[in-house]
A and B are shown apart, each in its own frame.
Chain A
Amino acid sequence: MKFRQILLLLILAALLFFGFFWFQRQESAARDARALRQLQLWGIALNLYLIDNDNFLPEVGTNFQDSPYAWFEVLPPYLSQPPLSELIRNGNNPAPGSPSLWSSPRASKPRVWDKSQVYSTWAMNRALQPDPTSRPYRIQELNLPGNVIFLTEGSGFSPGLLPHEISTAPGLPRNSKTLPVLFCDGHAQPVPRRTLLASETRTAENLQKGISWFIE
């Protein structure tokens, strides 16, 4: 009798153990899917912005505070959301893990967070406006817009990013193998971290392969 009880308890423990990991994996997959859906919303805003603005891409912006024509200012109104500057002005700075456009659903709430910090998981590909003082590219200046990265997870504290800065924002899973990426034609897809880093090399070959930081 005692042996059977121990056996049942062991089975129960094993079930709970594997159930826990299965649940975690499911939850992580659901978070990844939600992150992609959020990027697709940004993609809709981007397309509508292009229609209204003679196909000019929005600016990358030098910082979150002082860039009125940057993506985080001009795109949210297309989704009935206030621009980032308005949130900051009203003291509603986005934080990691908060339910908003600014925090990737993959980001969890850090234990300690300074509420005065301005945070956005998403950051725009800096190669789309290499010189902040010059005008941004027009979409027709990109050879294959569907292959050029527009937005992905960045450092959390800068509106633009370069390949080596991907997914370093607080709250993001450190070891995820794929990252959600929005491309300049408005579609979003998961891309292996390795591919994102490998495509740092500026070659037309990378663009033809389907992922590029650059416009060639």
Chain B
Amino acid sequence: MCAHRIWSFFFLIFALFTSSCHRQSIDSTPDVIILHTGRIRGNIYPLSLQGIAPLQHYPYLAGYIRQVREEASKKGTQVILIDLGDSLEGSFASFTTNSSNVIEFFNALRYDAILLGNLDSSIQPLQIESLQVPCLIPFIKKDGSPCIPNIPTAAKISRPNDRFSVYLIANFYGDTDPAQYPERFPVSFAGQTGIQPVRNIESQIASLGQIPADSLVLFAWQKFEAPNSQPTQFLQRLLKAGVDAILAQRVYGRQKLDAWADAGPADWNPPISQNILRNNGGFTIARLDLKRENNRWRVLRQQIIPMTANVAPPDPAIIARIESFAETIRKANISIGEASQPISENQILNLVLNAFTSLPNATAAIYTIQSVRSSLPSGTVTSSHLYRALPWNSPLVSLSLSAEELQILQSKNKDWTIISIKDHSSNQKHTVICPEFLARIALQQLNLEAQFQIVSESEFSFLANFTHNFAANNGGTLIAPKFAAPDGWQIHKPNHQ
């Protein structure tokens, strides 16, 4: 009798143990996994050049993508890989290789589509041609024609043998009117002027022709500022147009540090998958798992994943392919001068204004402290250091403005630094040097039809040359903390000093 009790006890323990191991049988296999990167900003360096760019995430990114694809192929899940833009340019490596380093990365990983962002605006048609990946752009000309010939604003991106047809709609800033924030919208792209963001989502979708009922329509929102409350009208518009999911790059200011922990508006309809819009250089990838159920797409998983060795093993194949660019980058990384102490961002701003006003006939210059992206280290300053501080490869222009007009611009743009080296009371017009995007904003704000002249095709090349000569004229030394100022130097807004 007692033995029976003991056996019953064992049986009970066993039953409890096995019942706790039981899992509810819900089919959690996704039909489609969407992975999206963005803002890589050219940070694809050969690993042998870690001295220039020590944090390289692409080996793990490639390893993770490979892992997801391998697992998905076993379950019959379709994987879609997209880059949401601002990835081709922005690093010394992409500057010296004409973005071939990033293009090689996209081609090797067989991306399904890439978007061109406003920070890819110097890209040339020849480089786009070398992309073996469908390319989309969220900008059009004022007459509605493509900003770059043969680059659509919406396209079918799935391959012929894929289970589901997938369509991608490129968008820049949601339905925000460019007049609201003119400084955030590019007005030229790849040498084309007079461009604007495409905002007619309905006509973008109509351009795709007949879309099968079980397709997946994705809306790529390049600059996404999560509002405090749901933009109900806009979401309704997207749903009505047939959008199934939103892929977004969420804008975070520097003061918003907990971007990672902030899940954001996860309960939107259509669902939204967010990546972090910072210069993450490939540190994050966003993942959205979807399942087709009852004629709609259900979200199984939404996640931002950091790309470190903890997530996936590095992919040796991609490391070897990128290594082939090492020699080109190394050769271009020449010494510019010596700095006796670190050169601050404000001192670099000073250097830039010096450089602009050194041009023949130049009497004024405009620049912003926000355009200076890093300080310079003490010791030998190389061209890659300078590029990290001033990563702008767009044209430098001159325009003719009166002192009065400069004052108006200063009052309208508190964060601009405007300097002149000529008497303000003079009636003569100033020849103002500034980057092209600032010139366009200035002309728009002043309601001027006037044109500007391009004085240098590449702002960075001009500044690198100036800095090199500056150092050479000072016995190889970049003088810190203050660069020499031209005679008559006047600063309208000295706050940055």
| Alpha-carbon separation in the docked complex, A48 to B259 (Å) | 9
- CB neighbours (8 Å) of A8 from chain B are 3, 6
Residue contact A52 to B278, C-beta cutoff 8 Å: yes
Residue contact A5 to B309, C-beta cutoff 8 Å: no
- Closest Cβ of chain A to B197, distance in Å, is 26
Residue contact A138 to B310, C-beta cutoff 8 Å: no
Residue contact A143 to B261, C-beta cutoff 8 Å: no
- CB neighbours (8 Å) of B278 from chain A are 48, 51-52
Does chain A have a CB within 8 A of B165? Answer: no
| Alpha-carbon separation in the docked complex, A149 to B346 (Å) | 33
Does chain B have a CB within 8 A of A216? Answer: no
Does chain A have a CB within 8 A of B297? Answer: no
Does chain A have a CB within 8 A of B11? Answer: no
- CB neighbours (8 Å) of A12 from chain B are 6
| Alpha-carbon separation in the docked complex, A5 to B2 (Å) | 8
| Neighbour of A185 across the interface among B55, B259, B261, CB < 8 A | B55
| Neighbour of A51 across the interface among B6, B281, B309, CB < 8 A | B281
Contact with B along A143-159 (1 / 0, CB 8 A): 11110000000000000
Contacts A52-B278, A140-B53 given; does A187 touch B309 at CB 8 Å: yes
Does chain A have a CB within 8 A of B54? Answer: yes
Residue contact A140 to B258, C-beta cutoff 8 Å: no
Does chain A have a CB within 8 A of B488? Answer: no
* Max chain A C-beta neighbours (<10 A), residue from B2, B3, B54, B278: B54
Beyond A77-B258, A186-B306, A187-B310, 12 additional pairs, beta carbon < 8 A: A4-B3, A8-B3, A51-B278, A51-B279, A51-B281, A52-B278, A78-B260, A138-B377, A139-B55, A140-B53, A145-B55, A189-B309
- CB neighbours (8 Å) of B96 from chain A are none
Contact with B along A71-83 (1 / 0, CB 8 A): 0000001111000
- CB neighbours (8 Å) of B257 from chain A are 48, 52, 77-78
Does chain B have a CB within 8 A of A43? Answer: yes
- CB neighbours (8 Å) of A54 from chain B are 374-375
| Alpha-carbon separation in the docked complex, A189 to B311 (Å) | 11
Chain A residues 101-156 with CB under 8 Å of chain B are 138-140, 142-146
Could you say which interface size class chain B belongs to? 20 to 34
Does chain A have a CB within 8 A of B219? Answer: no
- Closest Cβ of chain B to A103, distance in Å, is 19
- CB neighbours (8 Å) of A51 from chain B are 278-281, 283
| Alpha-carbon separation in the docked complex, A55 to B259 (Å) | 18
Q: Which residue of A lies closest to B306 (CB)?
A: A44
Does chain B have a CB within 8 A of A169? Answer: no
- CB neighbours (8 Å) of A139 from chain B are 54-55
Chain B interface SS verdict (over half): loop
Residue contact B308 to A79, C-beta cutoff 8 Å: no
| Alpha-carbon separation in the docked complex, A36 to B310 (Å) | 10
Could you say which interface size class chain A belongs to? 20 to 34
Does chain A have a CB within 8 A of B212? Answer: no
Does chain A have a CB within 8 A of B441? Answer: no
- CB neighbours (8 Å) of B2 from chain A are 5
| Alpha-carbon separation in the docked complex, A40 to B281 (Å) | 19
Does chain A have a CB within 8 A of B475? Answer: no
| Neighbour of A79 across the interface among B254, B261, B279, B374, CB < 8 A | B261
Chain B residues 374-396 with CB under 8 Å of chain A are 374-375, 377
Give 17 CB contacts A-B under 8 Å. Answer: A4-B3, A47-B55, A51-B278, A51-B281, A52-B254, A54-B374, A77-B258, A78-B257, A78-B258, A78-B260, A79-B260, A79-B261, A140-B52, A145-B50, A185-B54, A185-B55, A187-B308
Residue contact B260 to A48, C-beta cutoff 8 Å: yes
Does chain B have a CB within 8 A of A50? Answer: yes
Does chain A have a CB within 8 A of B209? Answer: no
| Alpha-carbon separation in the docked complex, A9 to B3 (Å) | 10
Contact with A along B267-287 (1 / 0, CB 8 A): 000000000001111010000
- CB neighbours (8 Å) of B27 from chain A are none
Chain B residues 77-128 with CB under 8 Å of chain A are none
| Alpha-carbon separation in the docked complex, A187 to B308 (Å) | 5
| Neighbour of A80 across the interface among B53, B258, B308, CB < 8 A | B258
Q: Which residue of A lies closest to B1 (CB)?
A: A1
Q: Which residue of A lies closest to B308 (CB)?
A: A187
| Alpha-carbon separation in the docked complex, A5 to B3 (Å) | 7
